[in-house]
Amino acid sequence: KYILAVAGGGSTYTPGIIRSLMDRLEDLPLSEIRFYDIDGARQSKVVVAAKAVIAEYTDSILVTDTTDPQTAFENADFVFAQMRVGKYALRELDEKIPLSHNVVGQETCGPGGLAYGLRTIAPMIELIDYVEQYAKETAWIVNYSNPASIVAEGVRKLRPKARVLNICDMPVATMRNIAAILGVEREELVVDYFGLNHFGWFTRLEVDGIDRLAEVREHVYKHGLLTEDVSKIDYRHADSSWIKTFKNIKLIMDHFPEYLPNPYLQYYLFPDHIVETSNKDYTRANEVMDGREKTLFETVEKFEETGILEDSFAVGVHGTFIVDVTVSIAQNLGKRYVVMTENNGTIPNLPADAMIEVPAFITADGPKPEFVGDIPYFYKAMIEQQLASEKILVEAIIEGSYEKALQAFTLNKTLPSAKVAKAVLDDLIAANKDFWPTL
């Protein structure tokens, strides 16, 4: 039986992930679950819900919540990492500061994502070092922490030997929508995909050996990446903002007659449209704080008063995916999932040291990417520009270099000029003074 630690235990995603773990106890038997967070007060509330979920299934798992790294990671087999450095207060600034300059305001894409990256690298390295110090030698960190592309590059550069698997639920969530469009189960869909995190394209959507990409594109062209019945899209991505995001894919279809883009590409390809249709005073961070966050804490309060746990956090692909990849590691199944991994010739015409997102076989030794081959020049050029922005940002953090931070911002496709890049960077430096290395 395994010991699992959840770093960022105070996350609103925790109860859903726990439910997913409980549904899979036969595949991933657990003796202990330890919740770890630097905000012990917030975590202790979330853990009330997590414990209630566990109690529905078993009383034989020892559950601890702690702010002490040794207590959390001693002898652990797996660590799920889902930290949000600066919490939603800083996400709000990541979104609103760029928007105040008429630039895309998004959690992981554009200047907000770069700002979030600047906050997250040091805490992520700290976590890796704790795990190295206390956990089993064979322990794996399965990492959802954003901005995943920049985090993956920082980890590759600063802790190249660390056993960290960087994952994101967007490819699998997109597959969920595609499966709904095709009227098949997500598990029946076999995809080819290449890119960086939140920056990639599906190139084949196979069901029973037949590529259905053209058919799916035809549907998306008319209706967006959605079915009429949105109940097939799970709670994580079924609110009005996500529905708008999935509808917007139509925009990309109009312009690019091949492949199926990751929804996040709209921020890079249509930043003007995104800014025009954004509310500068009430962004996604506000929606999440007033929605998902509030609901969870209300659910906990109600549970404490009545003993009834309302089902406000169904599992969804976010919860199932992290457990799927972990089971594949634990049992050395070599199952094929889209994850982040070092290129090393998988896409020969991209740099070998790029952290790319592609299908890989997930083994006890980590991800083994399937060969992709050279990609067409348009995609290569877009990816290399984004990659350069992210790699230079990580250098800026390590060297404390303002010049490099400005280069990283300037290279980001959401920023229209070096002048605007500098103005946004300077405002973000002021807002992040408690979090960033001195630039």
Dihedral sign for Cα atoms in the order 214, 216, 217, 219: positive
Window 168-187: residues binding Mn ion (CB under 5 A): 168, 170
Comparison of 167 and 424: residue with beta carbon closer to ligand G6P: 167
288 binds, among ligand G6P, Mn ion, none (CB under 5 to 8 A by kind): ligand G6P
- State how far the Cα of 61 lies from the Cα of 50, in Å rounded to an integer: 12
Q: DSSP secondary-structure letter at 231?
A: G
Comparison of 170 and 394: residue with beta carbon closer to Mn ion: 170
Binding segment for ligand G6P (CB under 6 A), chosen from 65-73, 164-172, 182-190, 321-329, is: 164-172
- State how far the Cα of 288 lies from the Cα of 384, in Å rounded to an integer: 32
Considering the candidates 116, 130, 264, 268, report the single residue annotated as catalytic.
Answer: 264
329 binds, among ligand G6P, Mn ion, none (CB under 5 to 8 A by kind): none
- Residue 237 Cβ vs Mn ion, minimum distance, rounded to whole Å: 11
Query: Which pair of tokens denotes residue 415?
Result: 């920023």
- Residue 44 Cβ vs ligand G6P, minimum distance, rounded to whole Å: 22
Comparison of 241 and 331: residue with beta carbon closer to Mn ion: 241
Comparison of 51 and 284: residue with beta carbon closer to ligand G6P: 284
Q: Which of 145, 143, 172 minimizes the C-alpha distance to 237?
A: 172
Comparison of 279 and 331: residue with beta carbon closer to ligand G6P: 279
Using CB under 5 A as the criterion, what x/- string covers residues 17-46 for binding Mn ion? ------------------------------
Binding-site member from 169, 192, 324, 357 for ligand G6P (CB under 6 A): 169
**429 CB burial (10 A radius; 0-12, 13-18, 19+):** middle
Distances (CA, A) of 118 to 9, 90, 107, 110, 292: 22, 12, 13, 13, 25
- Residue 160 Cβ vs ligand G6P, minimum distance, rounded to whole Å: 24
Query: Which pair of tokens denotes residue 184?
Result: 């098949």
Comparison of 291 and 351: residue with beta carbon closer to ligand G6P: 291
Per-position DSSP letters for 360-427, written without gaps between them: EEEETTEEEEPP-----HHHHHHHHHHHHHHHHHHHHHHHT-HHHHHHHHHHSTT---HHHHHHHHHH
Per DSSP, which regions of 221-264 are E strands?
Answer: 260-261
**Helix axes 87-100 and 111-134, enclosed angle (nearest 10):** 150
Comparison of 15 and 69: residue with beta carbon closer to ligand G6P: 15
Residue 225 as a binder of ligand G6P (CB under 6 A): the answer is no
Q: Point out the residue whose Cβ comes nearest to ligand G6P.
A: 170
Q: Is 169 part of the annotated catalytic residue set?
A: yes
Residue pair 172/321 in contact (Cβ under 8 Å)? The answer is: yes
Residue 114 as a binder of ligand G6P (CB under 6 A): the answer is no
The separation between CA 333 and the C-alpha centre of its own chain, rounded to angstroms, equals 23
- Residue 264 Cβ vs ligand G6P, minimum distance, rounded to whole Å: 8
Binding-site member from 76, 109, 128, 288 for ligand G6P (CB under 6 A): 288
What is the 3-class SS of 143-190, one letter each residue?
Answer: ECCCCHHHHHHHHHHHCCCCCEEECCCHHHHHHHHHHHHHCCCHHHEE
Q: Is 211 part of the annotated catalytic residue set?
A: no
Beta partners for residue 207, in sequence order:
189, 210
Residue 142 as a binder of ligand G6P (CB under 6 A): the answer is no
Considering the candidates 65, 94, 169, 234, report the single residue annotated as catalytic.
Answer: 169
What number of chain residues touch Mn ion (CB under 5 A)? 2
Residue 146 as a binder of ligand G6P (CB under 6 A): the answer is yes
Residue 170 as a binder of ligand G6P (CB under 6 A): the answer is yes
What number of chain residues touch ligand G6P (CB under 6 A)? 9
Q: Give me the amino acid identity at 65.
A: D
User: Under the rule (CB under 6 A), what is the footprint of ligand G6P?
Assistant: 107-108, 146, 168-170, 173, 284, 288
User: Under the rule (CB under 5 A), what is the footprint of Mn ion?
Assistant: 168, 170
Cite the active site residues.
169, 264
